[in-house]
Amino acid sequence: MNCTLTRATSAELNTYGTDANWTPDTSSVHNAYATAPMAAVLPPYQPPSEEELHTSFEQAISHRTSELHERLSRYSYPALSAQRRHSTEMDTTTIQAQNHAAQTGWQRFVIFSGLALIFMLIGFDLMGLLVLHMH
């Protein structure tokens, strides 16, 4: 909807007269200010119906019960075949153990070196105090 307020001059007022010489091209000016119906806007969130909620709840419960049943059946009836485990799993566990041992050795070295340095500096301080006390 367009609306502008301007002062109309007498020449413009004469074009919008009510006499019989009214031309149809002025109707376009009147239509520019006409209101048009707006399209209805739906709300962004529409709550689901009660039936949809009920069916989605049933689906979720059935999905959970089927997963629980599969898990319990695996515990109840374990595979009795003597299949060899994948070697990649063993390799990754041994590599992780070796990495952990290497990290532990490195950390142990740093800790013992730091303690040795601390004790050495404390020894020098104690020796200095002993020398000062003797004089």
DSSP state of 39: P
The residue type of 132 is L
Give pLDDT, residue 118: 94
Please indicate, yes or no, if residue 106 is contained in any of the structural domains: yes
pTM of the predicted structure, to 2 decimals: 0.28
Kindly provide the residue ranges of all beta strands, DSSP E only, lying in 1-135, ordered along the sequence.
none
Give pLDDT, residue 134: 85
Structural domain total, the chain:
1
Phi and psi based region of residue 52 (left: phi greater than 0; alpha: psi -120 to 50; beta: remaining): alpha
Question: Which two structure tokens, joined as six digits, stand for 106?
Answer: 């490195």
For 43-66, letters b (16+ CB in 10 Å) and e give: eeeeeeeeeeeeeeeeeeeeeeee
**pLDDT by residue for the chain (135 residues), tens digit each?**
455 555 555 555 555 555 555 555 555 666 666 777 766 777 787 888 899 989 999 999 999 999 999 988 888 877 665 555 555 555 667 777 777 766 778 888 999 999 999 999 999 888 888 888 887
Question: Which residue range is the domain that position 129 belongs to?
Answer: 100-135
Please indicate, yes or no, if residue 64 is contained in any of the structural domains: no
d(CA 118, CA 113): 9
Please indicate, yes or no, if residue 33 is contained in any of the structural domains: no
